[in-house]
Amino acid sequence: MKDLFEKIRANRGPIGMHAKESHGYFTFPKLEGDVSPRMIFRGKERLNWSLNNYLGLANHPEVRKADADAAAQFGLAVPMGARMMSGNSDQHEQLERELSEFVHKPDTILCNFGYQAMVSAIDCLVDRHDVIVYDAESHACILDGVRLHMGKRYVFKHNDIADCEKQLERATKLAETSGGSILVITEGVFGMRGDQGKLKEIVALKKKFNFRLFVDDAHGIGTMGAKGGGTGEEQNCQDGIDIYFGTFAKSFALIGGFISSETQIVEYLRYNMRSQIFAKSLPMPIVVGALKRLELMRNHPEYKANLWKITHALQDGLKKAGFEIGVTNSPVTPVFMNGSIPEATNLIYDLRENFNIFCSMVVYPVVPKGMIILRIIPTAIHSMEDVAYTIECFSKIVGKLKSGQYMAEKIASF
C-alpha cells in the first residue's frame, strides 16, 4: 500500500506540479501598496489589471474610514458564533434587508464565504430525488455543490439553450419517476470568457418545463443592470431568477456573500444551510463595511458608468487593434492568443518586467493546449491613458509572439 504523503509528493496536481518554477511570480505573486491601478510587484510599480475591484471601492476614503471605524468600535472577533446560535446582530439583519432591496428579492441570507455559500446552498436545496441541470462552464463552487448532490445531474453545453432544453426534457422524465424537482444552475457573468449567461432564455423555458433557477452572479452584482442590481436586472428577468447569489469579493471589494430569494426559501436556508449553521458568521466590520459599500453603489452611479466607459474603450480598442476577445459582454476582458506554455511565461515576464503591466494569464489545463488567455479586469478607477498604453504594449508583445521571439529566447528567469 502506498503512503498517502508519498502519493501526494509524486503528484502535486496540474498547477502545483509547476510550483517550483512559478511560485512567487506566476503563482502566488505579491501585489503591494494601496489597492489601485498602480501597485508594486517585486519592488516596482506596475499597471495592474488583475484586481477584483470593479467599482474602485477598495481604497475609497469613505470605505477605508468605515472599515477602520468599525474595526475600532467592534474589533474583529464579534459576533462570536454562528448566526443561529450567538452570531446575529442588527447590522447583519440591516444588511440583509438592504441587499434584498438592491437585488429586488423579498429576503436575503448573508454567507461567510461566497464559494462555500454556493456549495452549501446547492447541497441544502436539493435531495436525492431531485435533478440538477447546470451549465458546463460553471465556476468550481457550482461544480463542487453539484458533486455533493446525491441525485442525478445533467450538464448542458455552455450557454447552449437548445442543449439546456434537451437536458431539461431528460431531467423532467427522471423527476417525474423519482418524485423529485428540478434545479437549473448557471452564472450571470462567466468569469473566464466574460459572456453573460442566457438568463432570459432560460427563464423563458419555464413556460415549457417546471424548474427553479439558481444564478451565481459573482461578477454581475454591482457591474450589470441599470442600478447595479445584477445580470437579471440587466436582462430584465430578475423575477424569473428564483435564487440569486452575489459575492462581496468583487464589486464590493470585501469578503463574504449572500443569497436572495423569496422569504420562505431564505428562511429554509437560514435553518438548514450547513456552511452557515455550523460556522461563525461574518465579523461586524465586514458587515458594517458592506453597508457603506452598498450605500456608495446606490448613490454613485458614476462608478459603474466609469467602469463601463473603461470597459468599452478597452474592448473596442483591442478589437480595432486586431485582438480576439471572444464573446464577452461584461467588463471581464479575455485576450486570446496562441502559443505554448513556455511562450506564455516568456510573454508574461516580458509584459511585467519590460512594459510594467500586470495581468493574469490562463493556460492549459484551464484552457485547451496551445491557447493563451491574458485576462484583463478593468475597474472604474483605470484611466483612458491606461487603456491606450496597454493596447500599445499588447500589440508589441503579440508581434513578438507571432515572430517566435518568445520561443527562441529564455526570457523568464526570476
Q: Which residues bind ligand PLP (CB under 6 A)?
A: 113-115, 118, 139, 141, 187, 191, 216, 218, 247, 249, 257
Shortest approach of ligand PLP to residue 220 CB, angstroms? Answer: 9
Q: How far is the CB of 162 from ligand PLP (least distance, A)?
A: 24
CB of 118 to ligand PLP, least distance (A): 6
- Whole-number minimum distance, CB 113 to ligand PLP, in Å? 5
Looking at the Cβ atoms of 251 and 346, the one nearer to ligand PLP is: 251
Tell me the DSSP string of 358-396.
E-EEE-TTTS-TTEEEEEEB--TT--HHHHHHHHHHHHH
Minimal distance, residue 2 CB to ligand PLP, in Å:
33
Output 63 or 121, the one with its CB closest to ligand PLP: 121
When the beta carbons of 50 and 345 are compared against ligand PLP, the nearer one is: 50
- Which is nearer to ligand PLP, 184 or 401 (by Cβ)? 184
Strand partners, 133: 154, 184
Distance between CA atoms of residues 311 and 333, nearest Å = 8
Output the smallest distance, CB 396 to ligand PLP, in A.
30
Burial class (CB in 10 A: 0-12, 13-18, 19+), 334: buried
For residue 28, how many C-alpha atoms fall within 13 Å in the half-sphere facing its CB? Answer: 9
DSSP-derived 3-state class of residue 225: coil
Q: Quick check: 135 and 158 in contact, CB under 8 A?
A: yes
Give the nearer residue to ligand PLP in terms of CB position, either 187 or 350.
187
Residue nearest to ligand PLP (CB): 114
> Can you say how many angstroms the Cα of residue 216 is from the centroid of all Cα atoms in its chain?
9
Query: Closest distance between ligand PLP and the C-beta of residue 384, in Å?
Result: 27
Of 253 and 412, CB closest to ligand PLP: 253
Distances (CA, A) of 354 to 30, 64, 105, 334, 396: 18, 33, 49, 21, 11
| Residue closer to ligand PLP (CB basis): 39 or 118 | 118
Q: What are the strands of the beta sheet with 38-41, ordered from one edge?
A: 31-32, 38-41, 44-48, 357-358
**Cα separations (Å) of 112 from 73, 92, 247, 251, 302?**
21, 11, 10, 17, 29
